[in-house]
Structure 1
Amino acid sequence: MPGTVGRVPTPSAPVPGAPTERGATSGADAAVETHPWAQTALGAPEGWDPAVRAVVDLVLASPVPMALLYGQDLVMLYNEGYAELIGPRHPGALGRPAGEVFADVWHEAGVGEVLERAYRRGEPFLEREAVLPVDRHRGGAEQAVFTRGHSPVRGSGGEIVGVLTVAAQTTQATQQLQSISDFAAALAGTLTLDDVARVTLRYCLHSFDADRVSFVVDEGSAWRMVRRLRGELLDEADERLPPLWRRLPTDTTIPVVVAARSGVASFTADGQPLRDTAADRHDEKVRALAALPLRSTVVRGSITVGYQSPHPWSPAERALLAASAELVGQAAERARRFETQHGTAQLLQRSMLPERLPDLPRLRIAARYDAGVDGNAAGGDFYDAFVLPTGALGVVLGDVAGHDVQAAARMGQVRAALRALALADPRPDAVLAGLDRLVASLGVEGGTQELFVTVVFGVIEAEQERITLASAGHPAPLLRRGPATGEPTAEYVELPPGPPLGLGCRPRTATVPFRPGDTLLLYSDGVIERRWQDLTAGMAGLGAAVRAAGSGDPRALCAVATAAVPGATEDDVAVLAVEHAVKPSRSASMEVPAEPTAPSRVRHWMTAQLTEWRVPEGVVGAAVLCTSELTTNALLHAGTAARVEIDLSAERLLVSVADSGTRGQVTRARTDTLSSRGRGLGLIEELSDAWGTDPTVRGSTVWFEILLPGG
């Protein structure tokens, strides 16, 4: 609700108006400090939302007349300059609704309605030449000209909680103050430190009209810094890329790290603050620099704002920078906690899913897992593929309801038990019957009847060209039939689903042909279910997408399946695909070190390998160009070594580049540029027949497929 203060305790943050921040207080500042705010909508200062606290600090530190009108009643809190502006209405106006304080003029044009609009609709108001009555003396009022502005104030969650009103002589100061609420709202939407860095650098560069800004965080064994320069060419796609962080040693004396390490702000009005630590000529040109530490108990860091000419740091500007640093500190703290929790969830998920899928001469296998909700929790979807004692291949895909550690733990138990049962007796009906008893037992032990598990298990016998499947409440598997005599087809296996596990499941099996050129697709319900449409529409969409795919390659079909049904899903998505190859494929791989010469080495290796395999020259050229681009981007944006894998079949060439970075992943939102230093994914899209990205627990994989002539 607008007007509600978020109770976010921040013991390290000072109470606004305290002498430790600005020296001895007097006048309006002293009245604010002693006012019983707990009896107003603002509540006690120690419980103020960090974004509101930052605005209050800014108001009280500013020499220009400023007021915060808080909540639905627009309760007033203001500084010394504003107290002089309203004259005898002070100090009675503190803590009272603005409508009561200015009841005599509230309904006049440009007074009450603009404040109500700013609060109710979030509409900022700026009047460059406002003639206002100034109550200088009790005997009468003077007329004075001000630039007047009102802007909505947003809490840490992005909701409007009040209005900031400013009467100043300069429009630049007003615009800067108006932007802080937008800055708080933008930071409220960040999840990772990469996100915080992007928003912070963009805001500081534009709001302060700076020549250079930087942001640094402590990584324990080193510092990580990213900077932006005025005039840097960054387009919309580059803004979404992981920032290019630079690692700094722990003992560096660069001002941004000194401020973070000491917790003390520094302001250089004219000098050479980066002379001894300059990385390039851009640093050498900086003459004025402000370095402000982040106020956070979890993250050590700081921000700097610099100019290439002398710059006096006014009290108002220092206060605005301090407020900005506090907002960044709060956002960085949230981001660090999110990344820690996210990393734990990924580690748990990694331990539950197979490290590698079997590598068989006639069966090509691929899988994909996308975490649902916000990707910050381990889910219950799982897949597995393993060779049975008979030489056949066992494949499974299941879903344990839930998005928490308990669901992931149950998923691990079910997956391990299924493999053990299958190795003892691989018949799908026997495996699921045994698994049913296990799930029922787990439900009794846990004292819950809410253990909901669905699973489909199959045994693929490539030599006999058949699959035997059984299902316990799971969506029907999909078979893509290869174009032996015409166009490819896609059909769902007619398999009795039965009840979920734990409910007395008596599974029945179905055996269907699985000829060379066919591909089996197992998937979780997150692939086909959407809130706004029924299940049959989702299944129809998946079938149509798989049928229209350019090939039956399992990796390509996994990507096709996850994007087949429009709309977002809050559920986890798991897909497993197995192709019965027409002919055995040839494969090779190369480990790529994180070195500048790596892309060149990849080009030479790949050209030699594909030439030896007698791949058509045109395909070789396109594949080498695309692989070089992906390798460059993996090294540049993930910052880690990469692995290049090539797989050649009779129909197509498949190339993948995997990194183990943790600083974000490539998305298909825009394909015209991936790297500001390369030609981007537009090149891959132009030269390949299919491409995609696979998020993994260890990083991300980008792949592309080129169909061979006559394949």
Structure 2
Amino acid sequence: MTTLPNQTGAPAAPAVDCAARVRVHPWAATSLGSAEAWDPVVRATVDVLLASPVPMALAYGDDHVLVYNDAYAELLGDRHPAALGRPGAEVFGEQWQAPGVGGVIEDVYRTGQPFLEAETQVAVARGSAGQVEQASFTRGHSVVRDAHGAVVGVLTVAAETTQVTRRLQSLGDLTAKLAAALTIDDVARVVLAYAMTSFDVDHCVFAVDDGPAFRYVRRIRGEMMDEADERLPPLWKRIGNDPASPLVAAAQTGRPLFQPDGSPLAKIATDRHERRIRALAAMPLRTASLVGALTMGYRTAHTWLPAERALLYAAAELVAQAAERARRFEAQHGTAQLLQRSMLPEHLPELERFRIAARYDVGVDGNAAGGDFYDAFELTDGRLAIVLGDVAGHDVRAAAVMGQVRAALRALALTDPAPGTVLTGLDRLVTSLGAESRNEEIFVTVVYGVLDLADGTLTVASAGHPPPVVRRPGTDGGPATAELVGVPPGAPLGLGGQWHTASLRLEPGDSILLFSDGVVERRHRPLSEGLADLVAAAAAANSGDPRNLCSLATAAVAGRTDDDVAVLAVERAVALSRSATMLVPAEPTGPSRVRQWMSARLREWAVPEPVIGAAILCTSELTTNALLHAGTPAQVHIDLSAERLLVSVADTGTRGSVTRARTDTLSSRGRGLGLIEELTDAWGTDPTVRGSTVWFEMLIPPR
């Protein structure tokens, strides 16, 4: 319970000079008596409290008449100025009798023993608008004795600890957020946000070693940041081993630096923001495998108090440990993903009448390799083989088995592509692998089909794998339909089963979607519900474009999956499409080159002007993102069919990137997700072997 009043939300009285009020108050009518006759000690106490910037109050005499300063008046709120010169019991009414309020003053007055209260919350009106907020205070109460040594009052000093309390609370938040940070990029985002909000600094830099030098990311006060910027990879820059840099000095020596005033960044300043910094703290980040630093700066002089330094030490230790964990994760994740994706096709066939797309998303444990795989390749007789399979497990062994199965399937299909023959050969391989490793738990499922590119006939067989989904556009303007292909379910590979085929014909506009069980399986939900959700999502798609279907499939079933997700889609085009590709250099002029090239190409193809304008704007934003955040050239590919325009922007940057199960958080810098979502009919991101691809689709209105 506080000895200061808890406010009810009433606006604070306008700021008043308490010293002036004390001079004119009729003290003769109170137990203090006429001001001219005050005891010298009492007068000195009043002079001290009136001059103090911290809240102070004197409760004088047996009736505890109040004398206080301006800072204390803010705590009194609407009780000021009437409280001046009145007994405490009258000022606070019933609250005076509450435990820990008037009783504390009376006990100190009666016993003469000082008392230090624990931290308590007080509602305080702040600013000219009188906005009430909860503030933390620690109060000390001590007796005031007159010149003869008699106790005549109690002096209360209230020290506000709101900032310290909030910083300690934010340190707890920092711990929780760093625990969820997987990559160095994640750590950087968390640390920069923490420094800017908790310490209200003007300048913050987070740096880690990068070979013989360092790479760093910076945040400054006044930057225009939106939700999209926070989710994009930070903009890293490099700095050499310059001993004049406080950041480098702290990182290399392991000793912190605290400069309260001066020009700490003058010798290494790269812009006006750094030249304006006067106070700087540089904290080393050092672990067994990481060297770095965290700096915070102010544009005004700033005294780094012991409590603040202790908080910085604690924060730096947390950040260093999180950065080391993130570095280990990135190394392990990079190895696993390189193994995983090196076994998947880097490029799918480009055909005149058929379009193909695939997508692979790692499961919740992005640090492990998995056994899902897909493939599409042309056969010696001109037909197309398509396959999607799943080797049980989430480790390097599962990925190794997957690679063997995929390689064997290609070899078998190029010899005799009949589905029954291929699955029989794979069955023998899996049986042999199990016997060789003395492990009978190798579990492999596959759906495999052969597509005749001349008439669209697809012959497909399944070895324990979920059946594909076929999507057909509506007739006479009706809605599209989708259904599971009625392929007979065969036994998984390695069990010596027999497999039967099903045949269907893909008409122009039809699409076939192959998928792994991670797409439709969810805990505590029947598999039939997941399959129904996937079929419904395919039917509701704006078009049968395979890239769009792959994106929709990975998000068709609600809830998170613990499994990897692989999808492969093939569409039989209504008509031949036109396409073009441009390699954009990682230069400032890159986006403008893309705009000029794309404008000329789309107008040459007679694309409607509204589509051209929106497509160029979205492409420019995505290209800028790729150049800024991947740091590599970008490849822009446009594909125009009768019904839609598809644009993709690919980069080859892998630095600090982690592809999770849901990779729909990329957005265009500055304008956010709203731009892409508002101007396009569908969009998504696809991980590739050496980078990522962001794409969007715009439907062409009928002429």
**Aligned counterparts, 1:194-213, within 5 A:** 194-213=185-204
- Amino acid in the other structure paired with 1:474: H
1:143-197, Cα deviation, whole Å (9 max, x unpaired): 23345279xxxxxxxxxxxxxx999944133433343233222221211111111
Tell me, yes or no, if the aligned pair for 1:462 and 1:514 is still in contact at 8 Å: no
Counterparts of 1:410 and 1:133, CA distance in 2: 79
> Of 645, 648, 661, which aligns to 2:653?
661
Kept in 2, the 8 Å contact 1:665–1:700? The answer is: no
- The one of 538, 547, 570 equivalent to 1:546 is 538
Moved more, 662-671 or 516-525: 662-671
Residue 391 of structure 1 aligns with an amino acid whose one-letter code is G
Percent identity between the aligned chains? 63
Residue 181 of structure 1 corresponds to 172
Query: In the TM superposition, what are the counterparts of 1:64-463 in structure 2 within 5 Å?
Result: 142-146=113-117, 148=119, 169-171=159-161, 172-251=163-242, 253-463=244-454
1:624-643 to 2 correspondences below 5 Å: 624-643=616-635
Q: Which residue of 1 aligns with 2:84?
A: none
Match for residue 587 of structure 1? Answer: 579
TM-score by structure 1 length?
0.75
Change (3 A) 1:166 1:318: farther
Kindly report which structure 2 residues correspond to 1:546-695, keeping only aligned pairs within 5 A, or say none.
Answer: 546-662=538-654, 663-664=656-657, 674-676=668-670, 679-695=671-687
- What amino acid sits opposite 1:586 in the alignment? R
* Post-superposition offset of 1:625: 1.6
Deviation at 1:131, TM superposition (A): 8.7
How many residues were matched structurally?
Answer: 565
How much has 1:351 moved relative to structure 2?
1.2
Q: Distance in 1 between matches of 2:665 and 2:445?
A: 36
Find the aligned partners of 1:461 and 1:131 in 2 and give their Cα distance: 94
CA drift at 1:252? 6.3
Deviations 1:507-536 (A, max 9, x none): 111121122221111000111111132111
**1:657-683 C-alpha deviation (Å, 9 max, x unpaired):** 112223447977679x7423xx33322
Distance 1:226 1:293 in 2: 15
- Say if 1:274 and 1:167 are closer, same or farther in 2 by CA, change over 3 A: farther
Amino acid in structure 2 at the alignment position of 1:612: E
Task: Determine the structure 2 residue equivalent to 1:517.
Answer: 509
With over 3 angstroms needed to count, the CA separation of the structure-2 counterparts of 1:130 and 1:308, relative to structure 1, is: farther
Separation of aligned partners in 2, 1:635 and 1:132: 70
Q: Distance in 1 between matches of 2:166 and 2:472?
A: 63
- The two structures, once aligned, show a CA RMSD in angstroms of 2.6
1-structure distance, mates of 2:600, 2:165 = 63
The alignment's TM-score, normalised by the length of structure 2, stands at: 0.76
Whether contact under 8 Å (1:132, 1:146) holds in the other structure is no
Tell me the distance in 1 between the aligned counterparts of 2:608 and 2:389: 41
Q: Is the 8 A contact 1:295 1:325 kept in 2?
A: no
Q: Structure 1 pair 681/189, CA: closer, same or farther in 2 (3 Å)? A: closer
1:114-148, CA deviations, whole angstroms, 9 ceiling, x for partnerless residues?
Answer: xxxxxxxxxxxxx9x999999xxxxx994233452
* Aligned CA distance change for structure 1 residues 278 and 572 (closer, same or farther; 3 Å): same
1:478 and 2:469 correspond: yes
CA drift of 1:579 comes to 0.9
| 8 A Cα contact 1:132 1:144, kept in partner | no
| Cα shift readout 1:467-493 (whole Å, capped 9, x = no counterpart) | 111110000111112335443221211
Q: Distance in 1 between matches of 2:194 and 2:502?
A: 61
Task: Report the equivalent of 2:458.
Answer: 467
- Residue 479 of structure 2 corresponds to 487
Task: Flag structure 1 segments of 5+ consecutive residues without an equivalent.
Answer: 1-108, 112-126, 135-139, 151-164
Residue 501 in structure 1 maps to residue 493 in structure 2: yes
CA distance in 2 between counterparts of 1:110 and 1:601 reads 74
TM-superposition CA deviations, 1:550-583 (whole Å, max 9, x none): 1111111111111111111111110000111122
Tell me, what secondary structure is at the counterpart of 1:661? coil
Q: Distance in 2 between matches of 1:312 and 1:582?
A: 71
Change (3 A) 1:702 1:133: farther
2 CA distance for matches of 1:402 and 1:506? 24
Query: Which residue pairs with 1:18 in the alignment?
Result: none
Q: Using the alignment, how far apart are the partners of 2:397 and 2:299 within structure 1?
A: 56
**2:681 pairs with 1:710:** no
Q: Which amino acid aligns with 2:695?
A: W
For 2:236 and 2:105, the matched residues in 1 are separated by 49
AA of the residue aligned to 1:504: G
Contact 2:668 2:676 in 1 (8 A): no
Which residue identity is paired with 1:599? P
Separation in structure 2 between the aligned mates of residue 215 and residue 500 of structure 1, nearest angstrom: 51
**CA shift digits 1:210-256 (9 cap, x unpaired):** 22221111111432111222333434443222222222234463211
1:397 to 1:133, Cα distance in 2 relative to 1, 3 A: farther
1:675 aligned partner, one-letter code: R
Per-residue Cα deviation, 1:562-611 (whole angstroms, up to 9, x for no partner)? 11111111111100001111222221111111111101000111111122
- The Cα of 1:619 is off from its aligned counterpart by 2.1
> Paired residue for 1:89?
none
Contact conserved, 1:525 with 1:573, CA < 8 A, in 2? yes
For 1:362 and 1:435, how far apart are their aligned partners in 2? 30
Aligned partner of 2:15 in structure 1 is: none
1:371-412 deviation digits (Å, cap 9, x = unpaired): 002321111000000110111000000000011101000100
Q: 531-540 or 480-489: which moved more? A: 480-489
User: Does the aligned pair in 1 maintain the 2:621–2:669 contact within 8 Å?
Assistant: no
Show the counterpart of 1:79: none
